Chains A and B, each alone.
Chain A
Amino acid sequence: MRRIGIDVGGTNTDAVLLDGDKVVFAVKRPTTKDVTSGILDALKALRADPAARGPVDAVVIGTTHFINAVVQRRNLMKVAAIRIGMPASASLPPFCDWPHDLAEGVRGEIFMLEGGHDYDGRPIVPFDTAGMRAAARRIGDLGLRSVAVSSIFSPLDPSCELAARDILQDICPDVAVTLSHDLGRIGLLERENAALLNAVLHDLAVETVAAFRKATAESGIDAPLFLTQNDGTVMQAETAIAFPVMSFASGATNSMRGAAHLSGLEDALVVDVGGTTSDIGQLRHGFPREANAVVEIGGVRTLFRMPDLLSIGLGGGSHIDPASARVGPLSVGYRLTQDALVFGGAQLTATDIAVAAGLLDVGDRSRVASISKDMIAAALTDATRQLEENIDRMKTEAGDAPLIAVGGGAFLVPEKLAGVSQIIRVPFGDCANAVGAAIARVSGEVDQVFRDLTRDEAIAAALEIAERKAINAGADPRSLKTIEIEDMPIAYLPGNSLRVRVRVAGALNRIEASREVA
């Protein structure tokens, strides 16, 4: 199976072609403001290599486009918010915990309707379908084109949200509808926030996916298009149009997954050294360990699962303090090729130290010839100290563990580190992001409360739901693997209530229509 992986980062757009597990070719091109032409450039460069021609089964794109739109408050739509669950949860309406500027920009109208469920499946009160029809008519009258619907305990019983959608489709069929239970987890505000963010991105998602399609088509590639999700798995482009929020923060995940793939290690520490920061994470079963915390996107609390990363101010562009030889946390960032000594600039950077030490051969080496041996040693020692301290903080088990070093600044990682059994450097490590995108798998997830079942029965029931979801999303049923099982008994609930969270992932089902690259 031949796949193209593309990572659209803040600085570079990387593209790789994988044949089976093997990287055939990789290119790096600057990211462009319109994103599309950067992808086009990268794909053209990829195609220029003869080995990269031939059939392509899938194109997988990892992008920060949607999360950036929220952070920068660009290209967002006004939306309607429908909350079903009155008379409970009345005092904290939709948008109540949003940053003022963002809420002002996207808040269309809020509807609070009676309905929703208790944790045990009993309705709180009957769903106010007449109120829902009135809301739908008002949405039509106001000309709002995107709606987010949330209902209390909808992850346990989505029937109110489904009924709301049916009414909306009946009365204003052109409106895009996001249902919170499709995105989520228990936690009404956070789930509703995710649904609202998804709704405000609807137009951008339609445009962006169309642009991605155009870029691949113009490159002569006619293969199914996928976008990577936060958890290192993929969704079909059609799904990405419906759920753009699922692509938030897939970059770090792709990088760690790529490191796993390139090294063949499924359980290891990973350090991705960039120009400004190093991100340290831990792979378990080939996936990054995830943070449990609430994640803020552009100031909005959500419960998306993000990789648990420790980010430190150590990178190729880090300033070196001439007095203490301390590395970072200040950095020249994207101005490395102008500001670093070896490139004719005036700022002593980690890159200059690496060139002076003979670890790296870029720019004009003579410009760093006068740096003292002591200075070089002291700076490298400081970088080592920072890595050792923070790697130790990320480790969850005693004993030495292997470390995979990727990213353009990986030269700063020394050959030996305390607490590390082995340092692994991989070919194409500087394109680990794109490799991670190319190898992304298809997942299914469930987060529900089960009652009156044994723990084993509850987990088995959850696994079955998660597997069905994965298969529906395009996973090959034979390749499904359980990524994570977490069960949590719930205090003060009768009937041995157990909340079970399960995630499974499998390989993309080979798509029939595998076509030649022109």
Chain B
Amino acid sequence: MNEPVLTEITLEDIESLAVGAWILGTGGGGSPYLGLLNLRRLYAEGYRVQLMSPLDLDDNDRVAVVSNMGAPLIGQERLADSRNIARAVEMQEEFGGFKFRAVMSVEIGGGNGTQALMAAVHLNIPVVDADCMGRAFPEAQMTSVAIGGLRPYPCTLYDPRGIEAIVTKVPSWKWMERASRKICVEMGSIASTSKAPRTGREVKDWGIHFTTTAAIRIGRLVREANRLHTDPIAALLESEGGKRLFTGKVVDVARRTTEGFLRGSVAIEGIDDDRGSRLELSFQNEWIVAWREGKAVAMSPDLICVLESVSGHAVGTETVRYGQRVTVVALPAPAVLTSPRGLEFVGPRAFGYDLDFRSVFEERAGAGV
């Protein structure tokens, strides 16, 4: 067995992670604030979390993949609880008859970005510096492990009333999404879940690596810029190789729910350099396509992030509001998502847009700027 290098995640790192994960949430996944509060409290009680590289996993290690499933609005009343997420992981161990080596979040973006840390505190195992989205997406099959064709079951769901459920077998990731979603709704539309366990080999082959440290790095840049009154967005773009798409004011927000998703669009009217122009964003829980003068200028899986123009903090699809002053940026997607098979799961057609994926970043290279 390898002797992995473990680095302790400091409370400062967690504060940064919360800011960075919210940005990587690309508008969805709920705010990481409650996870941050949990971890502040746990750290005050003396708990600590260790981070390990996915490359240090043994092929036969087991890795738990956790997420808090449900509507972010419900999460504002039934608050994220570190013991619940740990319990969902223990259910996997009891069902499978093994012990996990480490834990990771299904998605680093949004509130789920802190779930692995919360579980790790009680399980006394490290967090793997990886996830399965590199951002946030609305559905269970929109992951690198689904793209990799890995097994989608079993999935455990835990509700603190004492309801425990395991979906032991499904024919596909889409069926897992449907079956587990039904159970989640019965639990009050919020549930702590532990997805299909992964082996070390699978995480090395199909995990999206070093996303925890990416979220920490992004959050640290923004927090540092806020402290020094410098431009957080410029710092973010430089560090992450991102591109500024638009700066303006939100002038229209339209939301509707279909099939349980929050869908809609936001219109942003340009200020400063973008004066006289208008950007429209379509969303399905997360920002999916950005349109300028009717032309798609950015689309999933490139990360479209809407940030408060001054603070650089993320603006969510549930919190975006008329009159907000925002800057829209694009960050490059992990390679697995932009592969031909990746685009079948998370490209524009997966969200119902008849568009061929074209990366913002290819365009720039093509223009020879």
Contact = CB atoms under 8 A, between A and B. Distances in A.
Interface string B20-39: 00000000000000100110
Contact of A91 (B81, B184, B271): B81
A498 B325 CA distance: 26
B323 A152 contact: no
Interface in B188-205: 188-189
A292 B321 contact: yes
Contacts of A396: 249-251, 322-323
Given A152-B78, A187-B77, A87 B160 contact: yes
Contacts of B189: 118-119, 492-493
B183 interface: no
Interface stretch (B5-13, B68-76, B125-133, B327-335): B68-76
Interface string B228-267: 0000000000000000000001110001110011100000
Contacts of B257: 489-491, 493, 496-497
A322 interface: no
Nearest to A125: B161
A153 interface: yes
Interface in A381-426: 392-398
Contact of B181 (A282, A397, A492): A492
Q: Which of A97, A124, A395, A491 has the most CB of B within 10 A?
A: A491
Nearest to A395: B249
A398 B269 contact: yes
Interface centre among B37, B76, B318, B322 (most CB of A within 10 A): B76
A292 B76 CA distance: 15
B82 interface: yes
B37 A490 contact: no
Among B80, B261, B262, max chain A CB count under 10 A is at: B262
Contacts of A189: 34, 37, 76, 79
A88 interface: yes
Contacts of B77: 85, 89, 119, 152-153, 186-188
Contact of A92 (B70, B79, B255): B79
B71 A91 contact: no
B179 interface: no
Interface in B42-97: 70-74, 76-83
A490 B325 contact: no
B262 A491 contact: yes
A90 interface: yes
B87 to A, nearest CB: 11
B172 interface: no
B319 interface: yes
Contact of A308 (B38, B161, B285, B323): B323
Nearest to A492: B71
B188 A488 contact: no
Interface string A487-511: 0111111101101000000000000
B262 A489 contact: yes
A186 B76 contact: yes
A398 B267 CA distance: 13
A89 B285 CA distance: 24
Contacts of B323: 282, 289, 308, 394, 396
Nearest to A154: B77
A122 interface: yes
A209 B125 CA distance: 56
Contact of B71 (A97, A292, A392, A491): A491
B79 A122 contact: no
A491 B285 contact: yes
A499 B325 CA distance: 24
Contacts of A292: 319, 321, 324
A118 B188 contact: yes
B41 interface: yes
Contacts of B161: 87-88, 124-125
B260 A188 contact: no
Contacts of B322: 289, 396
B185 interface: yes
Contacts of A371: none
A199 to B, nearest CB: 20
Interface in A213-233: none
A91 B249 contact: no
Contacts of A153: 77
Interface residues of A, number: 42
Given A118-B188, A392-B271, A397-B251, A91 B38 contact: yes
Contacts of B34: 92, 189
A115 to B, nearest CB: 12
Given A491-B262, A492-B260, A188 B79 contact: yes
A344 B208 CA distance: 68
Nearest to A496: B257
Contacts of B319: 292
Contact of A490 (B81, B249, B262): B262
Contacts of B80: 91-92
Given A96-B41, A396-B249, A490 B71 contact: yes
A292 B325 CA distance: 12
A78 to B, nearest CB: 22
Interface in A79-99: 85, 87-92, 96-97
A292 B249 CA distance: 14
Nearest to B260: A492
B255 A489 contact: yes
B73 to A, nearest CB: 5
B261 A491 contact: yes
A25 to B, nearest CB: 37
Nearest to A488: B255
B165 to A, nearest CB: 16
Contacts of B74: 119, 492-493
Quick one: which of A119, A186, A187, A397 has the most chain B CB within 10 A? A119
A496 B318 CA distance: 16
Contact of A90 (B70, B160, B256): B160
A496 B250 CA distance: 26
Given A396-B322, A489-B262, A491-B285, A91 B83 contact: yes
A281 B250 CA distance: 16
Highest count of chain B CB atoms <10 Å: which of A152, A289, A492? A492
Interface in A124-157: 124-125, 152-153
9 contacts: A87-B160, A90-B160, A92-B80, A394-B323, A395-B249, A396-B251, A491-B71, A491-B257, A493-B189
Q: Which 8 A-B pairs have the closest CB atoms?
A: A489-B257, A491-B262, A118-B188, A89-B79, A87-B160, A292-B321, A91-B81, A492-B71
Interface of B: 34, 37-38, 41, 70-74, 76-83, 160-162, 181, 184-185, 188-189, 249-251, 255-257, 260-262, 269, 271, 285, 318-319, 321-325
Given A119-B71, A499-B73, 14 more contacts: A87-B160, A89-B77, A89-B81, A90-B81, A92-B38, A92-B41, A92-B79, A186-B73, A292-B321, A393-B249, A489-B257, A491-B71, A492-B261, A493-B189
